């Protein structure tokens, strides 16, 4: 039973059955969660389960954008405008950069169990430098942002000076997105989460688009008014998403390649949430 921090606040509970877990045990775990007032989904036992498995590529893309010159404060603010309750860079500080580093590296490895190329897009060694420098996030008063008394007040927190030095060290040698529209960076970050959600459905990590939407909304705050990643795809249009992925893949790499399930949906003109007959 995987609760989300802080457990007394977060509404999602992922129940992860083992391949030999009896249906009675699974039902009992779900029942406990429901009586606790949680939204419960059953998730396959893979690294990251469902929500953290999607957060990994999303966090990687956020770091990639920062390394390409996107301002972390602007990226956070733009993601809030998109509808997230917390920006992706602030999320790293909230969770703890040491914890996030372990999660991210746990997702790197050989497919199908691990994510392989789907964790590419940034130099993740930067995270280790943050940890080595004691920039662990909110709990230590400094991470990407300054959480000390001088960093408090109205408006976004400033990027910590020590973080600025590390970011500068990992500045991408050729790609410069410092002057690109911030909505481009938002699209990249959101797309990485959404694509991994589709991969999870395709590989059976989750059993339905409905579970994927519930997990994303209640586990990480995917904008509720957008319905979740699968409802968002349906709203924008599967073919539109495939076309966006192809363009991003051509510019940034195979991490943006659309999952086969998404390609098939687009080709057939189908939605993930089919309307009632």
DSSP 20-74: T--HHHHHHHHHHHHHTT-EEEE--SSTTTTHHHHHHHHHHHHHHHHHTT--HHH
Helix (H) or strand (E) holding 177: none
Task: Give pLDDT tens digits along the chain (277 positions).
Answer: 999 988 898 999 999 999 899 999 999 999 999 999 999 999 999 999 999 999 999 999 999 999 999 999 999 999 999 999 999 999 999 999 999 999 899 998 766 668 889 999 999 999 999 999 999 999 999 999 999 876 566 778 999 999 999 999 999 999 999 999 999 999 999 999 999 999 999 999 999 999 999 999 999 999 999 999 999 999 999 999 999 999 999 999 999 999 999 999 999 999 999 876 6
> Please, which residues have CB within 8 angstroms of residue 173's CB and are 6 or more apart in sequence?
none
| Domains of the chain with bracketed CATH | 1-42 (no CATH), 44-235 (1.10.1040.50)
Cα–Cα distances in angstroms (integers) from residue 150 to residues 31, 51, 86, 95, 162, in the given order: 46, 34, 21, 21, 15
Catalytic residues: 14
**How far apart are alpha carbons 269 and 276 in whole angstroms?**
16
List of E strands, the chain: 2-3, 12-15, 39-42
- Cβ(46)–Cβ(113) under 8 Å? yes
**pTM of the shown model:** 0.94
């Amino acid at each position: 039973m995987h609760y989300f921090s802080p457990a007394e606040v977060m509404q999602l509970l992922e129940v992860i059955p083992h391949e030999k877990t009896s249906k009675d045990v699974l039902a009992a775990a779900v029942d406990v969660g429901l009586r606790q007032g949680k939204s419960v989904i059953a998730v396959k036992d893979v690294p990251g389960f469902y929500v953290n498995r999607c957060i990994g590529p999303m966090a990687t893309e956020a770091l990639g954008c920062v390394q390409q010159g996107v301002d972390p404060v602007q990226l956070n603010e733009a993601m809030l405008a998109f509808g997230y309750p917390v920006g992706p860079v602030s999320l790293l500080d909230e969770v703890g950069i040491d914890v996030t580093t372990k999660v991210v590296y746990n997702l790197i490895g050989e497919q199908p169990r691990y994510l392989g190329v789907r964790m590419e897009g940034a130099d993740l060694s930067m995270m280790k430098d943050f940890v080595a420098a004691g920039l662990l996030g909110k709990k230590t008063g400094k991470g990407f942002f300054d959480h000390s008394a001088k960093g408090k007040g109205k408006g976004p927190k400033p990027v910590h000076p020590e973080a600025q030095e590390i970011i500068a060290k990992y500045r991408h040698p050729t790609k410069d997105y410092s002057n690109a529209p911030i909505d481009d960076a938002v699209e990249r970050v959101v797309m990485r989460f959404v694509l991994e959600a589709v991969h999870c459905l395709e590989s059976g990590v989750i059993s339905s688009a409905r579970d994927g939407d519930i997990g994303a909304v209640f586990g990480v705050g995917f904008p509720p008014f957008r319905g979740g990643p699968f409802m968002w795809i349906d709203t924008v249009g599967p073919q539109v998403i495939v076309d966006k992925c192809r363009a991003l893949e051509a510019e940034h790499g195979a991490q943006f390649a659309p999952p086969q399930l998404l390609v098939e949906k687009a080709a057939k003109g189908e939605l993930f949430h089919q309307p009632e007959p």
